[in-house]
Structure 1
Amino acid sequence: MQAVIIVGGGMVGLSLALMLAKQNIKVKLLEAIRYPDYGAADDIPYHSSFDARNSALSRRSVQIYQELGLWDKLQQYATPIYQVHISEQGSFGKAKLINQHEGVESFGQVIENAWLGRVLLTEVRQTTNIELIDGVQVTSLKQDVEQAYLTVKREEETFELSTALVIAADGRDSFCRQAIGIGVDVHDYDQVAIVTTVQTSKPHQHVGFERFSALGPLALLPLPGEYRRSVVWPVKKGTEQEWLGEHNEQHFLNALQQTYGDRAGKFIKTGQRFCYPLTQVLAHKQVVGRVVLMGNAAHTIHPVAGQGFNLCLRDAHVLIRYLSHQFQQQQDLGDTQVLMAYEKARLNDQQKVIFFCDRVVKGFSNNNPLLKFARNTGLLAFDFIPGVKPLIANFAMGLRA
């Protein structure tokens, strides 16, 4: 049987390839950028597909990596979240989730994308039924009732590939999505995310903070090392230069201190800050013929609540279930009806997560006094109304997908 072709070798593409390989399905994985050659154990050069950002892996995502046999390798780079504190700067509303109260070991694990990417890439390179082809551009994607056909270019060399199934995981601006004529709905949040790592005087004690401030919703999450924390801070587009560069380090630390108060102690040091534009991009379809969209090619969402990558992993896990059944029955892996059944099966979970993240961003970006009072009352109610916490906790952990 022909190899499935995955276009896009970021964290979703690498994870997908390993899931397919575990089902004994052959894979060709195409990536536009040359992957790094890792040297020493502590050497993690950033790559465009797994960069300076961090991922808060939900409990369901951890379970998926456990099923792949990868969690033991990932865990050494991950930090569990035992508590989540949610609040709004200058307001009375506060809410808290504690793992022991919800009967779970943790709410998830925070891992730096550079480490996650390194572990995934190393595993892919060691897997015999995955052919990794990096440094290539897909310049054409066409299909008929029997096959999908790709034209691939590497420098001056051009070659043709064909397959029963193409999985397009080539990002927010997906070439494959455009090539097969799938349109998108785009919403620009007029924000960029400032991403970095900070050191604080108080140990993080495995507590994650979500702090809604006048500048934007600020996430502070624990990292390996007792005093290291990741920062993801969406700010208004056009103001990002105020926070970037060595000369702005103390200004950035002062802003964090003002926003958080003494909850984390003193913000002592910050690493290099990076910025990423924030837009919501939703494909009108996720399946056309023998091509299925995956990851940010299907849905790019706001990072608030850290749901994006977890949603993509759940998509991948369900797709593999459909493809595994086809493979075991020696049936067509690119059967459009099967792929459309996958798409239908995932819509409910996707729509809930997309709606939730979008509402949180817009709801906490509005400074109308009545709305501000309502949302802070809601945060207080979250702490006191029976049954609400387990519902929200399970949603955040990906256990109600």
Structure 2
Amino acid sequence: MTDLPSSRGPVLIVGGGLVGASLAIALDAAGVDAMLVEAAAPRADAQPSYDERNLALARATVNGLDAIGVWKHAREGATAIEHIHVSRAGEFGSARLASSDAGVDALGWTLPARELGAALLRRLEECTRLQRLASARLEALEPVAYGWRAQVRTDEGVRRIDAPLLVGADGTHSFVREQLGIAADTYDYEQTLFVCTVTPEREHGHRAYERFSDEGPVALLPLAGRRCGLVLTVPRSQGEAVAAMDDADYLALAQRRFGWRLGRLGRPGKRFPYAIQRVAASRLTGPRAVLVGNAAQTVHPIGAQGFNLGLRDALTLAELVAAASDAGDERLLATYAARRAPDRDGTMAMSHGLVQLACLPQPWLGPLRSLALLACDRLPPLKDAVLRRGMGFRGEPPHAVLERTP
């Protein structure tokens, strides 16, 4: 084992996924020294979070990505979401949201996660103050008077890094969260999520669909070239059988669950399954340490809030650190937790409550659900609130996401 020289001073970010990379870029843009520990090699095909999912990026998210110089590398592959249609199988109510209702050109954009990952990597290469360790793995943490001493294994040996602030951006099963002794509440939805692309018979018209049923939610997201991203949730007990289906049987299942609004679905891409859990850290901060993204909260993918919420974590933290003389100051971390609480709590409650109520197989709930959707569709104050929150403007958002021209 080789001991490399220690360093002191940079914010240490553990985890080079979508949120960790975004935080590193935001800090670099703000002139803050940071070090990014990435488990995978710096390639889009090596980073596990740069996968085959199709992300629905809220308007605030695109504003934020634009502010930190990422969107210029991603906009070409993005597709605008101008309309959203929400319904439940077998019930009469539905809600229709449009960008024109909010006075904007788009409510959000869809983008394959791999393309966003590639855009982040291109922007990381432009950073001037950021240090990157990849492939590297955090092995141990030791508290010291001014922060943390991290032992990081790299291809060249073991490096000891002293940092005034430790950031856990290392995902749902966060090693940093575990080492900090922060408990996490886990809820297993007992569902399996399948994602793939399909090509519908009719044009999607820049419309995203969310449809609920007793079996779980299904979504169709507009993509370039008339394609759509299909997100299909099934009970965990059916996961293996659905994974084993041929394309024809899978399309028949998707057609039954989604319906015929876009005609016949065809040309399915490769399917990727994901187990769905809700994981919520009991607190966001520790002594000179903070959790962001999925390390802080992993939400049900309904409503596509995961990365959107995580990016607001990252940009809020970067904003506070950039204005402070001490990145790990206790008051700074308390301010961070307080600012993130309304957005975090509200988004988690919305995603959890929606999947529980919208998919609950209770006939007596049907009329109530339909009336709720109709109210959202017909009452302007309620629709305005739903639109604003859906676009990512909840609580006290980071300044970087406030309205810009993407």
- TM-score normalised per structure 1: 0.93
- The alpha-carbon distance between structure 1 residues 144 and 336, as it changes in their structure 2 partners (threshold 3 A), is farther
Structure 1, 276-285 or 27-36: larger mean CA deviation: 27-36
Give, in angstroms, the shift of residue 35 of structure 1: 2.9
Partner of 2:260 in structure 1? 262
Match of 1:348 among 336, 342, 349: 342
Partner of 1:40 in structure 2? none
Match of 1:371 among 356, 365, 371: 365
- Report the residue type matching 2:145 in the other structure: V
- Report the residue type matching 1:35 in the other structure: P
Partner of 2:232 in structure 1? 233
- Report the residue type matching 1:312 in the other structure: G
**Structure 2: distance between partners of 1:65 and 1:263:** 32
> Is the aligned partner of 1:50 residue 2:50?
yes
**Structure 1: distance between partners of 2:272 and 2:298:** 19
Percent of residue pairs identical: 34
Q: Which runs of 5+ in 2 are unaligned?
A: 1-7, 396-406
**Structure 1: distance between partners of 2:240 and 2:42:** 29
Alignment of 1:121-270 (within 5 A): 121-154=121-154, 157-225=157-225, 227-245=226-244, 248-270=246-268
- Report the residue type matching 1:196 in the other structure: C
SS state at 2:51 partner: coil
Partner of 2:31 in structure 1? 24
SS state at 1:342 partner: helix
Give, in angstroms, the shift of residue 201 of structure 1: 1.4
Structure 1, 141-150 or 81-90: larger mean CA deviation: 141-150
Structure 1, 77-86 or 212-221: larger mean CA deviation: 212-221
Structure 1, 167-176 or 146-155: larger mean CA deviation: 146-155
- Report the residue type matching 1:218 in the other structure: V
**Structure 2: distance between partners of 1:299 and 1:400:** 16
**Structure 1: distance between partners of 2:267 and 2:242:** 14
**Structure 2: distance between partners of 1:55 and 1:135:** 25
Partner of 2:12 in structure 1? 5
Give, in angstroms, the shift of residue 74 of structure 1: 1.3
Partner of 1:39 in structure 2? none
**Structure 2: distance between partners of 1:114 and 1:45:** 8
CA contact (8 A) 1:6 1:166 kept: yes
Partner of 1:113 in structure 2? 113
Deviation by residue 1:4-30 (Cα, 9 ceiling, x = unmatched): 111000000110011000011122110
CA contact (8 A) 2:292 2:310 kept: yes
Partner of 1:380 in structure 2? 374
> Is the aligned partner of 1:400 residue 2:394?
yes
Give, in angstroms, the shift of residue 379 of structure 1: 1.1
SS state at 2:188 partner: strand
**Structure 2: distance between partners of 1:376 and 1:332:** 51
**Structure 2: distance between partners of 1:365 and 1:213:** 5
CA contact (8 A) 1:243 1:273 kept: no
- Report the residue type matching 1:271 in the other structure: G
Deviation by residue 1:108-138 (Cα, 9 ceiling, x = unmatched): 0011000000110121123221222112111
Give, in angstroms, the shift of residue 46 of structure 1: 6.2
Q: Which runs of 5+ in 1 are unaligned?
A: 37-43
Misfit runs of 4+, over 6 Å: none
> Is the aligned partner of 1:360 residue 2:359?
no
Flag the structure with more relative contact order, 1 or 2, with Cα contacts below 8 A and sequence separation at least 6: 2
- TM-score normalised per structure 2: 0.92
> Cα RMSD between the aligned structures?
1.5
Deviation by residue 1:202-230 (Cα, 9 ceiling, x = unmatched): 111100000112321011000111x2000
CA contact (8 A) 2:29 2:127 kept: no
Partner of 1:295 in structure 2? 293
Aligned length: 388
Partner of 2:302 in structure 1? 304
**Structure 2: distance between partners of 1:102 and 1:67:** 21
Give, in angstroms, the shift of residue 155 of structure 1: 5.4
